[in-house]
Amino acid sequence: MGYAPKGSSVTFVLPASVKAEARAFKLPSGSNAKFSLQFAEDDNPASTKALIAAGIKDCDAVMVVGMAHLPPADGDALVISTLLQVRAPLFP
């Protein structure tokens, strides 16, 4: 994955309900970054609690992905609500 600068850490935050399936996922290796999985125990990876647990306060960037299965309006709504959640811990 060439999008991460050398020395970066990339954390994928997933719903806890997919933990068993995600454990079978092979994280990228041999790249510039360290990759890890984290699971949102409330099953909502966009929640403030999950984002803080993933280190949102110390991150330089956030990518919101994985909504291809949703209708466009629902995907857009999820992106907007996630962006609001990203800002919440940073600007209380």
pTM score of the predicted model:
0.70
pLDDT, tens digit, 9 for 90 and up, residues 37-80: 888 888 888 788 888 888 888 888 777 777 778 899 988 888 88
Distance CA 62, CA 76 (A): 16
Q: Where are the domains of the chain?
A: 9-90
Percent of the chain whose pLDDT exceeds 90: 2
Burial group, residue 7, by CB count within 10 angstroms (0-12, 13-18, 19+): exposed
Percent of the chain whose pLDDT exceeds 70: 90
Distance between start and end Cα atoms, the chain? 33
